[in-house]
A and B are shown apart, each in its own frame.
Chain A
Amino acid sequence: MQTPTRILCVEDDLDIQLLLQLALGKLGGFEVMLAASGEEALQKLEDFLPDLLLLDLMLPGMNGLELFERVRQLPEFTQLPGLLMTARVAPQVPEEWQQPGILGVLTKPFNPTSLADEVRSYL
């Protein structure tokens, strides 16, 4: 059996963390690690070695994009892909979000029953 894809979810809202845990881990079959802030994510990165970063844009301290750039500068994660998640209502995806490594943007509210499939569609 193939080892499950490892996703590091960075989300400051603890309730949404729980939903992500259930939707991606329990239902989606991914191996999920949760972090509430950019700092926490950077700490957990080395041990967890994720295959994908799922980043909320609005985070305490550094925001999701900043965190993604920081991570990509680390030698072992230069190719690590990322998915952005935002509650922002915008008809278009801003240009600054379209950069190498960012696979796509997920919008909140999300459907937890289909979230795993959605994530998988980007992989």
Chain B
Amino acid sequence: MNKWQELLTRLKKSSLQSRLLVLLLLGFVLIILASTILMRSYLQDEYRMVFYEHKQKLLTSLVDRMEVELQHQEDSLRNLVEHLVIPSGWRPQQDLKLLLQVALSSGHFDDYVLLDNQGVARVDAPYFPGRQGTDYSDRPFVTQALEQHKAVRSSPFLGRKTKRPLIAFSLPVIQNGELLGLLVGTHELLNNSAFTALSTDFSRLDSGELYILDNRKNLYVASENAELVLQPLDTPAHDFLPDIVHAENHYGRLSDVQGNSWVYSKASLPLMDWTVLHITPENQVLAPAESLLQQYLIMKLLMLVASGIMILWMVKRLLQPIRQAIEQLHSAVTSDKGYQPLDAGIQGEIGQLLEAFNSLQAWRDQKERLADELVSIVSHELRTPLTSIQGSLKLLDSSEAVLDSEQQKQLLSLAYRNTERLRYLVEDLLDMAAIKSGHLDVQLQVCDLLPLLEETGKNLACTLDSRQQKLLTHVPQEKILIKVDPRRFLQVLSNLINNASKFSPVHSDICVEVAVTSTRVKIAVMDEGPGISQAEQERIFERFTQGDASPQRKQGGAGLGLAIAKELTEAMGGHLNVKSENQAGSCFYIDLTRVI
């Protein structure tokens, strides 16, 4: 038990390949076992059936021939009886003797005895001294024939004078309704013509033993082994013979005392109340099946070994990319080389798995890059306004005397502007964090669009002035209501205008155009900047991206603004999109539901 458990544990820890090998071997053994058992029982049944049918035919033909022979014997005896009497009674003794002598030469019987109506022998042929006068009335077949006046076939018996196994046929000799006596013809069982012919046929049966058995007395009537004749059936060697004789089936199998299996077939000879029986040791019957099974097994084994080798080879090939991948991953961890894309090798699930590994790693790399980029962008974005603030304050502090009042004012507003810039950046980062964690705070209320636009313009005047840009607004002359969070809406709009300003040349115009239908409001922010290519338009609303994807970005900014603006617009139930052609400026537009 412990050994098994140990083996099982070892198997669980072993490689996939050896597990498959064990599984395969087990499967093979099971397949071989199951198929052998099935095949064996099928073949055995089949061979038994064929054997039975064959023997049955043979036995039937034997029985037919015996019946014909017996009928001939009876006919010849009846024929003889007619010649034995004359109208006055028996023929003279001399004639009778002669007739019997003649009949003897016909070969139908080995021995004729004429009995008188008391069962006492009167004439015999061939002549045995002392037989005449012997009383045979104690023989059942004599008694029966005398009493019932009819032909009687005897069971086998031992001849009184001859001391040899015999069967007899007694026929009443009747004249004018009066029983004169009996004509008895006897056969020697051991050299009877009919049974000699049969035994020639016995030898044609390649194996097994053939017996003729008497049902009434349970005796051997005929056997290749002469010693058995007239012996009782229940000899130790074949103690099962009585069972067979009385079995209902004409064929079947049995075991003897030693446990050997025998297959039997039988046919009955009702005329004599005999059974013709053929028995064969079962292993002889099944020998061809066994040899066939052996061949089948060898072929099966060869096939299984061949297919096993093929399957193993395939499994090895299948697992090769995984092994390689494992090695590669190990070395990626242990050495500083980092992750090398795995060779997916083959198609199918394993290839897909390895590909998935690669894309997972690529995704992680990108995340890492994005995080790195965020740090470097944010630090850059922090440093630029910090440089301005620190620089202007230092100048104001230490070089007051050198600077005129205009310059001092300039420096102050510069410092102020940049603290604003810092504030926006920090707010952007917080907003982004809120969006990422899903805690964006948006308080919707119905607002008039126009004041919001004006406020945005006012807020951005300073920035636009510093770049000498003009903000043009085109708004239809009607009241336009929208449902937004005013603070957030201002943030989105400022972001768009700020962007427009940042990416447009100095002295250019930035245009805010409002178009309305009965249900929608569209606010477009257009600039005269370099425009955005189609590919960049697709990514521009992602975090940390600016139009130009080169490592050295053209413009400051953390690349968070548009991503935040889009999220905010969508949180307020609107859409933010871009339309742009390279070199022809960009148009960002907010699409909102109009409140009537």
- A contact set with B: CB distance below 8 Å: 12-16, 18-19, 22-23, 26-27, 36, 57-61, 63, 87-89, 108-113
Contact = CB atoms under 8 A, between A and B. Distances in A.
Given A12-B554, A16-B384, A112-B392, 4 more contacts: A12-B556, A58-B556, A60-B554, A63-B552
Contacts of B387: 16, 19, 87, 108-110
Contacts of B392: 15, 19, 112
B554 A59 contact: yes
B386 A109 contact: yes
Interface of B: 376, 379-380, 383-388, 390-392, 394-395, 398-399, 402-403, 407, 410-411, 414, 417-418, 466-467, 506, 552-556
A20 B223 CA distance: 136
A102 to B, nearest CB: 16
A19 B553 contact: no
Contacts of A22: 395, 399, 403, 407, 411
B552 A113 contact: no
Given A22-B403, A60-B555, A88-B376, A13 B395 contact: no
Contact of A12 (B411, B466, B555): B555
B399 A27 contact: yes
A113 B394 contact: yes
B62 to A, nearest CB: 113
A15 B392 CA distance: 9
27 contacts: A12-B555, A14-B467, A15-B385, A15-B392, A15-B414, A18-B414, A19-B387, A19-B395, A22-B395, A26-B402, A26-B407, A27-B402, A58-B380, A58-B556, A60-B554, A61-B554, A63-B552, A87-B379, A87-B384, A89-B376, A108-B383, A109-B383, A109-B387, A110-B387, A110-B391, A113-B398, A113-B399
Nearest to A26: B402
A16 B403 contact: no
A18 B376 contact: no
A26 B403 contact: yes
A44 to B, nearest CB: 14
B391 A23 contact: yes
Given A12-B555, A13-B556, A15-B417, A89 B379 contact: yes
A25 B533 CA distance: 40
Residue of A12, A15, A63 most packed against chain B (CB within 10 A): A15
Contact of B391 (A14, A19, A58, A88): A19
A69 to B, nearest CB: 13
A14 B465 CA distance: 11
A108 B552 contact: no
Contacts of B466: 14-15
B391 A112 contact: yes
Nearest to A57: B552
Contact of A87 (B380, B414, B553): B380
B301 to A, nearest CB: 70
Closest 10 CB pairs of A and B: A60-B554, A109-B387, A63-B552, A87-B383, A15-B388, A19-B391, A108-B387, A112-B391, A15-B414, A87-B380
Contacts of B418: 15
B563 to A, nearest CB: 21
Contacts of A61: 554
A39 B467 CA distance: 17
Contacts of A18: 410-411, 414
A63 B394 CA distance: 28
